[in-house]
């Protein structure tokens, strides 16, 4: 439906964002090509250049992992274990929802479906400024619940230091290999392999624009979870929503990076104006202001609509990663919306719960990808495969003759002859094309 929104705050033009992405693409293309050509040597050079990190080995030994984990406060370890159990429980429920079956569609014709895990997955856990331990839960725990036998986990050092809590999270999640390696060089090494790292079949996990672009360029050679961009939050509010809560939650995601969109759609002009005032009041005191302020300035938006119908329609046009519903009847969004990564229903929950502790996966579609995909889940690590078996001779003859006719309509004589042979063996049909 058409909406008649009044916009109180605009984002920067999309053309500016596109120009920035073009530069990222060119850089990533060069790095991947260099790593293909020079392997570990190039990986080491880029790690030293971008992260000031060049140890004897990027892969941590079991002894090194144990020592690092032992340095992490017990409360942090306990919290990691608790959150990972929430993620594990939800992933197991997802796995239980997937069925395998075998059916007999004709006498002696058995068709089946089963789920086979990919044999090696790469988990990228961002670092840079923040030690994102939660991404280890989402990528590694979920892969292990799916049954992936080899999970390679990479995370960068933070300002030249080992992110101990992240390493602990990777270890406790069940990573088979832990590498202190970040950025494009980590993604490319996992995808194409080097002398010291065997390649993987699929790479999952969030990251900055360079990591996302590396995954995009390597997709096809390997599988990926999804195309990801900057974190997005969309807050939907009616007149009963608290502008203070709206502001706090918008800024909670804006702090991810200077290009993280934070958007409010509301049916109340008063809520909209007060939310803007609260954001401006809170921003100066935020420790992460250097990211949150430009994100709000350049990518923040506030829209006022005339009804809940318009609110949900406009929300679906955004197709955002995170959608927080602060309305009197938040569960209506489950019926009215179809394009989002994850819904957070009511003032009692928040996007940060999904990011950090509640158990659903926080690796979600951005940049409108929610129009065609959901987020990372246990099924992403599984290949749904089929099998067929025909043991009844009458069915072999029936299908053989049908295959012959159907194939010749399409001028596929080779296919037709495979069908002819089954009909000949099962029912004695002649093979006029076989002159031997």
Catalytic residues: 321-322
Q: How many helices (H) and strands (E) does the chain have?
A: 17, 14
Angle between helices 183-192 and 209-218 (to 10 degrees): 20
Angle between helices 40-51 and 183-192 (to 10 degrees): 160
Question: For the chain, how far is it from start to end, CA to CA, in angstroms?
Answer: 68
What is 261-307 written as a DSSP string? -EEEEES-HHHHHHHHHHHHHHGGG-TTHHHHHHHHHHHEEEEE-SS
Would you say 296 and 12 are in contact if contact means Cβ atoms under 8 Å apart? no
CA dihedral 31, 32, 34, 37 (to 10 degrees): 170
3-state secondary structure of 44: helix
* Strand ranges inside 35-175, DSSP E: 101-106, 109-117, 120-124, 150-155
Pairing of strands 322-326, 233-237: parallel
The kind and range of the H/E element at 203 are strand 202-204
């Amino acid at each position: 439906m058409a909406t008649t929104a009044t916009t109180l705050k605009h984002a920067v033009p999309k053309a500016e964002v596109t120009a920035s992405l073009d530069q990222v693409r060119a850089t990533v293309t060069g790095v991947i090509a260099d790593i293909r050509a020079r392997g570990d040597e190039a990986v080491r050079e880029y790690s030293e250049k971008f992260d000031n990190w060049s140890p004897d080995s990027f892969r941590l030994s079991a002894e090194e992992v144990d020592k690092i984990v032992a340095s992490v406060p017990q409360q942090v370890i306990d919290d990691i274990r608790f959150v990972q159990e929430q993620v594990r429980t939800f992933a197991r429920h997802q796995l239980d929802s997937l069925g395998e079956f075998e059916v007999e569609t004709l006498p002696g014709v058995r068709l089946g479906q089963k789920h086979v895990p990919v044999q090696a997955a790469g988990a990228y856990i961002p670092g840079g400024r923040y030690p994102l331990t939660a991404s280890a839960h989402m990528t590694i725990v979920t892969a292990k619940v799916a049954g992936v036998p080899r999970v390679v986990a990479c995370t960068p050092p933070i300002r030249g230091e080992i992110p101990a809590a992240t390493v602990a999270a990777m270890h406790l999640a069940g990573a088979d290999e832990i590498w202190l390696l970040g950025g494009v060089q980590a993604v490319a090494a996992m995808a194409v392999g080097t002398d010291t790292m065997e390649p993987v079949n699929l790479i999952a996990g969030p990251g900055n624009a360079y990591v996302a672009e590396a995954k995009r360029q390597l997709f096809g050679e390997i599988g990926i979870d999804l195309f990801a961009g900057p974190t997005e939050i969309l807050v939907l509010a009616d007149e009963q929503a608290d502008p203070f809560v709206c502001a706090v939650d918008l800024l909670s995601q804006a702090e991810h990076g200077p290009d993280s969109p934070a958007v409010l759609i509301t049916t109340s002009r008063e809520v909209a104006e007060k939310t803007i005032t609260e954001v401006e009041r809170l921003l100066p005191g935020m420790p992460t202001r250097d990211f949150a302020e430009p994100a709000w300035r350049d990518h923040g938006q506030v829209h006022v609509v005339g009804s809940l119908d318009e609110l949900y329609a406009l929300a679906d046009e955004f197709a955002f990663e995170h959608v927080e519903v602060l309305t009197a009847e938040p569960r209506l969004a489950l019926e009215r919306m179809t394009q989002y990564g994850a819904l957070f229903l009511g003032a009692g929950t928040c996007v940060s719960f999904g990011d950090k502790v509640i158990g659903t996966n926080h690796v979600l579609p951005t940049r409108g990808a929610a129009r065609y995909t959901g987020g990372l889940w246990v099924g992403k690590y599984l290949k749904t495969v089929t099998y067929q078996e025909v043991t009844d001779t009458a069915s072999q003859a029936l299908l053989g003759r049908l295959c012959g006719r159907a194939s010749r309509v399409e001028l596929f004589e080779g296919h037709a002859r495979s069908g002819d042979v089954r009909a000949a063996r099962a029912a004695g049909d002649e093979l006029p094309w076989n002159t031997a």
